[in-house]
Structure 1
Amino acid sequence: MKTYFMAALAVASLPIAASAQDQHQSTLNEVIVSASPLEEQSAGINQAVSVLSGEELRNKAAATIGESLKDEPGVTSSGFGPGVGQPVIRGQSGNRVRVLQDSMGTMDASDASGDHSITLEALVAERIEVLRGPATLRYGNGAFGGVVNVIDNRIPDELPDELKSAVEYRHNSANDQNSTVFVMDGAIADTPLGNWAWHLDGLYRDSNDLEVDGFAQLPEDDEEDHESTHGYIDNTDSQAHNVTAGLSWIGDKGFIGLSVSEMENNYGVPAGGHHHHEEEEEDEHEEEAETIRIDMEQTRVDLKSEWQDILPGIELGRFGFSYNDYEHTELEGGEKGTRFTNEAFEGRVELLHQEIAGWTGAFGLQLEDRQFAAIGEESFIPKSDIQNSGVFWVGETSHGDLSYEVGLRLDRQTIDPDGSSEIDHNTQSLSFGTLWQMTDEQRVSFTFTRAQRAPAIEELLSNGPHHASQSFDLGDENLDEETSHNFEFGYRYEGPVNLSLNLFYNSIDDFIFKKNTGVEDDDEELTIYQYNQEDATFRGIEASVVIPVAERWEIELFSDYVRAKLDKSGDVPRIPPLRYGAALDYTAYSWTAGMRLTQANEQSHAGEFEDDTDAYTRLDAHVHYHIDTAAGNWLLFVKGTNLLDDEIRNATSYLRDSAPESALSLELGVRFSF
């Protein structure tokens, strides 16, 4: 009865919001897309971009980046329990989706395995940019699916007029999650050493086991005594905290700043039916299932600078340097197991040059050096020194209603593992795009990208059990570079209605994928996953229509779909199914409210030895209320998730059979800005 009452309360709040009359009109902050190095307002000729900021970000922000972005066009989340949510863009994930912190790499271990979380927090972000489609030219080797760029103000780039602070608290009923956030920005102006801006933020979050509808573990067809938790997923509680401090010197032509961040995160991994370790008792072997937790900590230092007219012919120079000391330990039954470490440096320079023969452009250099290791009795990746270097140039020109963009990039990756010979890969990428501004309301664009990605260390050198991911991983050091040929068509209409359409076709030669062999390792009783290589094609569509239906109401109809096939052996595993639905939004005075209904079809192309997933219907809703006072501004909000209490198992998840999405839940929150 409790859950149905909560659902009714959330839905009933919508007409209450619609009838409210107040004198406050909420406004969204200006959105500036930083996807293109050429100018801050540009995302490129045909870069499909979603940007979350302001109140929309407050509504969608969640404990993981994947969960925060799961409703964006072409984006889903690959979970490994509620502690992990990695974004999947157009069916691509892992090393083919570049996740950035203010245009610099996260330098964590999230790419190495699906059970590793991304060390970014949406709750302290100012905005999140999602670039769908190849974005390899600026951001590094092989972002075939796209880029997620989490922008914060940890290194201020301008002097605030006054002290700005915000405190937020939210509670989620699905797992009794409590999240507390604070953000502060201030200035120290007119000192003998010039003008300074500073930033502080912090987060604390804790949660219990996640509530689900029915059994967590799906029963086998021939299983008589089904052993699974009912109504919740065991070992999915978590605790995390993060604190960051930044300081910048602000000059007339630019700034230079430094930030330091400390983060800790401890979360449980759902059992998923795996068994680990055998105990001998009276000549009989009894299997003992052990709980596995991830205990992560990292220290990160960032340096960032922008300066105008630094050299003759150079209009703007950007410099970034990041250092990250990352470590997590996989606790098996409370005992320390495999320890992952990643001590990494990344530096990048971008120089925007003046117009040459009608072309404006930017060229850049990116360098990365990291010491990566998996240490312990069950380490399955050797300690390695990994170096990446890349140079690129991107240019734009316009002729009447036509605009053109060209980009080139060269990369080299070197992996030097302990006890083995060095592995080198060279990659080359190029892109061409054109945009035709047909009328003031309509534009058409076309882009071709040829991009290459070097194999990652886990794809090359994995060899052994990884109990946190419940797999026995086998790499192949003879893997070649992947080569993507992506064609994309885009159409935009902005008038009485807003229409957005993107069609893409991506042919990937020597596509690397983690194949479920259907065979168990005899010693560890874990399914063997082999990194294989085979040509593949990804094709799909993203479409939305936004229709105003009244003065303060609008309806959005949306859909996205991706079909991914291997040329010889069937379907690419863990691909999201067709989604479509409608959203209704209302904005007036102090109130904003909305409902979103999403239908996901059955995924019947799950891949070899992978289980299909059933269709589901998801209904979400939210209500926000603003209060302006002399002391500051209040935002009260409630968000209802999965209001139909449907059983949702994501096709992108390795644990879809044992870790469904949460049951019906409410998130209540308050934010005070002053």
Structure 2
Amino acid sequence: MGTRVEQTDIRPDGMAGFSYTSVSASASAVWKLGQRNSFNLAVTRSSRAPQVQELLSDGFHHATRSWERGNAALKEETSYNLDLGYRFKTDWLRAELDLFHNWASDYIYQRRTGEFLDEEGTGDHCDTEHCVPVLQSSQQDAIFKGYEAKLIFPVLENHLGLLELTLFSDYTRGEFVNGGDVPRMPPLRYGLQLDYNKDKLSSYLRLTRADDQTHVATSRPRLPVITCSTWASITKSSLARRQADGVRQRQQPAGPKHPQRRVLSAQFRAGSGAWGGSGISLKLLIRY
């Protein structure tokens, strides 16, 4: 069991401030049925204050290609959550299944107003081809339910290292209590992942397939656009980044030293550019 109380105060210039006191609590239990099977149950209440951009934003957002407007009347978002899980473990297989059902009060989301503006905020002579939609921060009661599932197979474990194959899938259904679909919900996803570990080296290759989202909010029309994107990067571990930036933390008692590690990551995505369209992604990550 646990409880958390968080105080959030926002003091913008030239207007009245915002103050929120968010209270969250949780309780969970695990039942083991022999050496191979176990069930877990968790009941939680989570609350969060609106973010600054949800309250006060009013401008063009390059990443989402939209004009975002905040809402100073937003209240705290509160969710009551029920999670049921099952675990199965043998030498040749590990299985994990989690079911969840969440009741969200005053769920914060972005609602299309039907307006269109250009990047300067002007709506004169605007159309959907050369301007972007206006998204307004709003609140409604909503219900979310879904699952997450994994099957993990040890393929190889010897002096060459550990190789595991994971089959996974997840799905979330979001509906407003008063009717309608919650926008920007992920579709059914499934795929496989190969994990390899040996000494300081750890890596995985993950292939994910996303189906069409059949429950798209009516305010988000589909567009027949196909997109492809790739990226790759090499970064240091968080410890190395802190040292490179010259950030010195408060002196701590001497303890075990953690080796600095680098991360190589690359990803390829392809699919429909419209929200809710199907797609596929391939991701590679190596830590060494």
Please, what TM-score do these two structures have when normalized by structure 1?
0.31
Work out whether residues 144 and 174 of structure 2, in 8 Å CA contact, stay in contact via their aligned partners in 1: yes
Task: Give the equivalent residue in structure 2 for 1:647.
Answer: 271
Task: Determine which of 90, 94, 99 is the counterpart of 1:503.
Answer: 99
Residue in structure 1 matching 2:220, options 607, 610, 624: 610
Residue 414 of structure 1: CA displacement? 2.4
Which consecutive unaligned segments of at least 5 residues does structure 2 have?
A: 124-130, 229-260
2:122 to 506, 523, 534: 523
Distance 1:495-1:511 versus aligned 2 partners, 3 A rule: same
- Residues of 2 paired with 1:452 and 1:458: CA distance? 18
Q: CA deviation at 1:487?
A: 0.6
> Which position in structure 1 is the counterpart of 2:62?
468
1:539 paired residue among 145, 157, 166:
145
Q: For 1:604, give the aligned amino acid.
A: T
Do 2:24 and 2:44's aligned partners in 1 also have CA atoms closer than 8 Å? Answer: yes
**Matched position secondary structure for 1:437:** strand
**2:43 is matched with which residue?**
448
What is the CA distance between 1:595 and its match in structure 2?
5.6
Distance apart, 1:594 and its partner CA = 6.8
Distance 1:509 1:435, change over 3 A: same
Distance 1:413 1:597, change over 3 A: closer
What residue is the counterpart of 2:30 in the other structure?
A: 435
Alpha-carbon shift at residue 577 of structure 1 (Å): 0.9
- Any stretches of 5+ residues in structure 1 without a counterpart? 1-405, 619-634
Q: Which has the larger radius of gyration?
A: 1
Matches within 5 A, 1:191-590: 406-462=1-57, 464-469=58-63, 470-496=65-91, 497-521=93-117, 523-524=122-123, 525-548=131-154, 554-584=164-194
Distance 1:601-1:412 versus aligned 2 partners, 3 A rule: same
CA distance in 2, matches of 1:493, 1:670: 29
Deviation for aligned residue 1:670: 11
The answer (yes or no) to whether the contact 2:196–2:204 under 8 Å persists in 1 is: yes
Q: Which residue of 2 aligns with 1:369?
A: none
Q: Deviation of residue 605 (structure 1)?
A: 2.0
Does the 8 Å CA contact 2:206/2:283 hold for their aligned counterparts? Answer: no
Contact 1:451 1:484 in 2 (8 A): yes
TM-superposed CA distance for 1:466, in Å, is 2.0
Write the distance in 2 (CA, Å) between the matches of 1:454 and 1:576: 23
Is the 2:202–2:287 contact (alpha carbons within 8 Å) kept by the matching residues of 1?
no
Q: Give a deviation string over 1:552-605, Cα, whole Å, max 9, x none.
A: 76432211111111222511111111111234567789x998764432111122
Instruction: Kindly state the Cα deviation for residue 529 of structure 1 after the two structures are TM-superposed.
Output: 0.9
CA separation of 1:594/1:407 partners in 2, compared to 1, >3 Å: closer, same or farther?
closer
Report the CA distance shift for 1:520/1:409 in structure 2 as closer, same or farther (over 3 A): same
Question: How far apart are residue 474 of structure 1 and its match?
Answer: 2.3
Question: Structure 1 residues 527 and 641, CA, compared in 2 at 3 Å: closer, same or farther?
Answer: closer
Identify if the C-alpha distance between structure 1 residues 483 and 489 changes in structure 2 by more than 3 Å, giving closer, same or farther: same
Q: Partners of 2:174 and 2:26 in 1: how far apart?
A: 22
Query: Relative to structure 1, is the Cα distance of residues 640 and 451 closer, same or farther in structure 2, using a 3 angstrom cutoff?
Result: closer
The C-alpha deviation readout for 1:152-195, integer Å capped at 9, x for no partner, is xxxxxxxxxxxxxxxxxxxxxxxxxxxxxxxxxxxxxxxxxxxx
Cα distance in 1, alignment partners of residues 287 and 48 from structure 2: 44
Deviations 1:275-308 (A, max 9, x none): xxxxxxxxxxxxxxxxxxxxxxxxxxxxxxxxxx
Shift of 1:467: 4.9
Instruction: Find the aligned partners of 1:665 and 1:435 in 2 and give their Cα distance.
Output: 33
- Structure 1 residue matching 2:271: 3-state secondary structure: coil
Look up the SS of the partner of 2:218 in the other structure: coil
Q: How many Å separate the matches in 2 of 1:638 and 1:459?
A: 34
Letter in 2 for 1:607: A
The answer (yes or no) to whether the contact 1:576–1:650 under 8 Å persists in 2 is: no
CA distance in 1, matches of 2:287, 2:82: 44
Pick closer, same or farther for the CA change 1:581–1:435 going to 2, 3 Å. Answer: same
User: Could you tell me whether the CA contact under 8 Å between 2:203 and 2:287 is conserved in 1?
Assistant: no
**Residues 538 and 612 of structure 1, relative CA distance in 2, 3 Å threshold:** farther
| Whole-angstrom CA distance in 2 between matches of 1:455 and 1:665 | 32
Distance 1:651 1:434 in 2: 38
Alpha-carbon contact 1:576-1:651 (below 8 Å) kept: no
Per the TM alignment, residue 613 of structure 1 is displaced from its structure 2 partner at its CA by: 8.1
Alignment root-mean-square deviation, CA:
3.9
Which residue does 1:63 correspond to in 2? none
1:457 to partner: Cα distance: 2.2
Letter in 2 for 1:536: A
Q: Distance in 1 between matches of 2:89 and 2:195?
A: 18
Tell me which residue corresponds to 2:254: none
Distance change (3 Å), C-alpha of 1:428 and 1:548: closer
Structure 1 residues 408 and 550: CA distance shift in structure 2, 3 A? closer
The one-letter code sitting in structure 2 at the alignment partner of 1:647 is G
8 Å CA contact 1:603, 1:612 repeated in 2: no
TM-score (norm 2): 0.67
Percent pairwise identity: 34
